[in-house]
Structure 1
Amino acid sequence: MTEIHGKHDSRFDDVRAALEKNVTSGDELGASLVIDLDGEVVADLWGGFRDQARTVAWDEHTITNVWSTTKTVTSLAALMLVDRGDLDVHAPVARYWPEFAANGKESVEVRHLLSHTSGVSGLEQPAVVEDLYDLETSTARLAAQAPWWTPGTASGYHASNFGHLVGEVVRRVSGKPLKAFVAEEIAGPLGADFQIGAAEADWGRIADVVPPPPAQFDLEALGADNVIVKTLTGPAIDAEAANTPAWRRADLGAVNGHGNARSVARILSALALGGTVDGVRLLGPDTIELIFEEQANGVDLGLGVPLRWGIGYGLPLCEAVPSIPDGRICFWGGWGGSMIITDLDRRLTISYMMNKMGPGIIGSDRSGTYVQAVYDALG
């Protein structure tokens, strides 16, 4: 059996066993998993390899691109500004970003950006992944676009542009680019090994992502005007792009956060713990409650699957993620399977980050197995 490193409370023996089984079988390449319960790290596990040749071990300080788990940190940045009284989720985006009012978007509210209901779920064609790296130009393009559906009426997952939209609001309000805000006001104060993009000094400890099996969408059959097609081609992203210098240098608050289970849990445990982690206050309970104001509940126009959105985070919906129970829980995950869950009733945070991407849109069979094992252990 492949050795799993770290520590865990004996209650979570089955969680460790599941991780060990998946690493040994090759279902996992390298992975990390953390459980924080009432402010105590009761499991901090890692194992496997950083590379497909299995020559470099995934160690305690390995980080990887966490894809859309990044969005949970970007949402937290916006909510911190709400908590300070600098941002109102029910105000028009144009109050803070006047150019966004163009083409019929004057009534789009900040909460619509945070809940993927703004109608702006991607770049109009032509669009290539390199466009995302030019933050100023691509953000201006998004501001100029007309919405693809009536804002506020349904969600349409803002797959690759969520960080451009929410990050621009953060920049306009705080005066700091999103990457700097996260570094200086979230990761730094918490001592969390997480960053938007990745500093070149850290590239040597990054586990390159391994792409998933081909997607099941038949985009051609859906037609060019379908929101799924427009979202997933605005721009289309090859997973291998995440292993390139240009990607790592970019400020992509939707998709290029780099960290591991420990650092993501450190940050997002703030939601489960009332807003404060080890004396570092990020936001207060009233702001956290905003997350649970349901904004959308139904088939997502951008992904074609049922989703339930609060403000900034996904909310439990058995059809979407059966392993997450009902309750005051918010979550989201990254392409290929990473997952971060904060359970306010149990003061519980579950974090899982890996480099071998699995099939599926929200989570993976592996993440579902770990989450179910955690909840089974807690009864």
Structure 2
Amino acid sequence: MVTFAQGTVAEGFEPVREAFEATLAQERAGHSAQLAAYVGGRRVVDLWGGPGITGDSLTGVFSSTKGAAHLTVALLVQDGTLELDKEVRHYWPEFGAAGKEDVTLRDLMSHRAGVIGVDGGFTAEELADDRALARRLAAQRPYWRPGTAFGYHAYVIGALTGEIVRRATGATLQEVYETRVRAPYGIDLYLGLPEEHEHRFLDIQPMDPTPEQKRALAETEPGAHSWGGIAFNRHHVVPTDLESLPNSRAVRAAGPASVGGIGSARGLARMYAAAISEVDGRAPLLTPTTAAEFAQPHSTGHDLVLGSHNVFGLGFASSSADYPFLGARSFGHSGAAGSQALADPSTGMAFGYTRRRFAFPGGAAPETAVLIKAVHDCIG
């Protein structure tokens, strides 16, 4: 059965609609998704399709949240409030313990600090509370010598950088994001979903793998006490069910800065558009110099946590590493259920994609490569 996309595309972007409809048709029944894109600060794609979803629907964006968190940090670095090469203990003295004395903000944001979790793991209540995570992490000995390797700080990077923001400004990262980014630019992406928007939220649906995919997942599942197991809190007595995290009102209300963002494809795309372009008469959030520094690869090679090749800038992923047709200074972040969001300053493109059902095998959904390429090709 063909699923037709709803929404609009600007003249010249009709192939994006065709590509989106093709991906909807290829998915198993019940798949719902949203797609939005901007070029030069103007929205050129606004599409959605599948059961139960509209352009206004909100879903959990998992680690695409990290883009919002570290856009906020980038603004504070740009202002001079934070310095990338200052030791974390300069802002947060309690962190300077157990071998972490020399870790800088730059080290932390490039996933080089080794503080991927804590011995024994976190409770569900702690995972919804960045300050609780920060208190536990301050005393933790790193799982590798800081600076010697890197690994994805999946559940904790937003809590770590967020505590630095709170110590430096007196406000939480979520509060700074709200006042500096979300509210003034009208961005439909929340770090702490207000009660009045709860009716727009769609529960994330669990992955529905084929038998072959189930076997592949079982073969690649990291051990509970491996780097991957610790980073994804599988070593706790009650291992975390990643798929269900945003379905908890406690997580949605608090908006933990690593995984707790709630938003739409419109919101993701508009945030990255605002990062690099004038939007509705408002100046770009980042100067080209700041955007280039945060996009510049800092950690390249084998990721100890994910067990694969990876490329990180500062808080952001290097998007051109996954999509080589993009500019070298493109930056963004994907999310576990399949969301993807990024900016490419070389073309002025900003892209946002969300899906309701968890994609196999996790991380950016496979169809994002086709959709990003379709937008890119229409820019010409």
Structure 2 length as normaliser, TM-score?
0.89
Report the counterpart of residue 264 of structure 2 in structure 1: 260
Query: What's the CA shift string for 1:255-290, capped at 9, x where partnerless?
Result: 1101111111111123332x8773245232222221
Report the counterpart of residue 360 of structure 2 in structure 1: 359
Q: Is the 8 A contact 1:276 1:282 kept in 2?
A: no
Query: What's the CA shift string for 1:141-177, capped at 9, x where partnerless?
Result: 1011011112122221011111111111111112111
Q: Is the 8 A contact 2:327 2:345 kept in 1?
A: no
Separation in 2 of the partners of 1:369 and 1:189?
Answer: 32
Q: Given the alignment of the two structures, is residue 115 of structure 1 paired with residue 98 of structure 2, yes or no?
A: no
Two-structure CA RMSD over aligned residues (Å) = 2.3
Report the counterpart of residue 158 of structure 1 in structure 2: 153
Q: Is the 8 A contact 1:308 1:317 kept in 2?
A: no
Separation in 2 of the partners of 1:109 and 1:184?
Answer: 26
AA aligned to 1:331 is: G
Q: How does 1:130-209 map to 2 (within 5 A)?
A: 130-209=125-204
Q: Is the 8 A contact 1:63 1:205 kept in 2?
A: yes
Q: Is the 8 A contact 2:344 2:350 kept in 1?
A: yes
Report the counterpart of residue 230 of structure 1 in structure 2: 230
Separation in 1 of the partners of 2:325 and 2:118?
Answer: 32
1:307 counterpart SS class:
strand
Q: How does 1:235-250 map to 2 (within 5 A)?
A: 236-238=239-241, 239-250=243-254
Q: Is the 8 A contact 2:59 2:356 kept in 1?
A: yes
Separation in 2 of the partners of 1:308 and 1:277?
Answer: 33
Q: Is the 8 A contact 1:307 1:317 kept in 2?
A: no
AA aligned to 2:248 is: T
2:353 counterpart SS class:
strand
Separation in 1 of the partners of 2:307 and 2:379?
Answer: 33
Query: What's the CA shift string for 1:68-109, capped at 9, x where partnerless?
Result: 000001001111111111100111111111111011111111
Separation in 2 of the partners of 1:237 and 1:225?
Answer: 13
Separation in 2 of the partners of 1:122 and 1:203?
Answer: 30
Q: Given the alignment of the two structures, is residue 373 of structure 1 paired with residue 368 of structure 2, yes or no?
A: no
1:103 counterpart SS class:
coil
Separation in 1 of the partners of 2:268 and 2:73?
Answer: 17
Question: Deviation of residue 316 (structure 1)?
Answer: 4.1
Query: Which stretch shifts more, 283-292 or 21-30?
Result: 21-30
Q: Is the 8 A contact 1:352 1:367 kept in 2?
A: yes
Report the counterpart of residue 298 of structure 1 in structure 2: 301
AA aligned to 1:360 is: P
Query: Which stretch shifts more, 356-365 or 76-85?
Result: 356-365
Separation in 1 of the partners of 2:217 and 2:12?
Answer: 38
Question: Deviation of residue 47 (structure 1)?
Answer: 2.2
Alignment counterpart, residue 38 of structure 2, candidates 12, 29, 36 = 36
2:367 counterpart SS class:
helix
AA aligned to 1:32 is: Q
Q: Is the 8 A contact 1:316 1:324 kept in 2?
A: no
Report the counterpart of residue 308 of structure 1 in structure 2: 311
2:23 counterpart SS class:
helix
Q: Is the 8 A contact 2:297 2:313 kept in 1?
A: yes
Query: What's the CA shift string for 1:178-199, capped at 9, x where partnerless?
Result: 2222212210010112211322
Separation in 2 of the partners of 1:243 and 1:301?
Answer: 29
Separation in 2 of the partners of 1:228 and 1:217?
Answer: 14
Separation in 2 of the partners of 1:223 and 1:13?
Answer: 46
1:152 counterpart SS class:
coil
Report the counterpart of residue 53 of structure 1 in structure 2: none
Question: Deviation of residue 332 (structure 1)?
Answer: 1.4
Cα distance change on mapping 1:271 and 1:191 into 2, 3 Å: closer
What is the total number of aligned residue pairs between the two structures? Answer: 368
Report the counterpart of residue 17 of structure 2 in structure 1: 16
Separation in 1 of the partners of 2:371 and 2:143?
Answer: 37
AA aligned to 1:255 is: V
2:34 counterpart SS class:
strand
Question: Deviation of residue 377 (structure 1)?
Answer: 2.9
Separation in 1 of the partners of 2:327 and 2:345?
Answer: 11
Q: Is the 8 A contact 2:327 2:344 kept in 1?
A: no
The structure 1 segments of at least 4 consecutive aligned residues displaced by more than 6 Å after TM superposition are none
Cα distance change on mapping 1:150 and 1:341 into 2, 3 Å: same
AA aligned to 2:282 is: G
Q: Is the 8 A contact 1:72 1:313 kept in 2?
A: yes
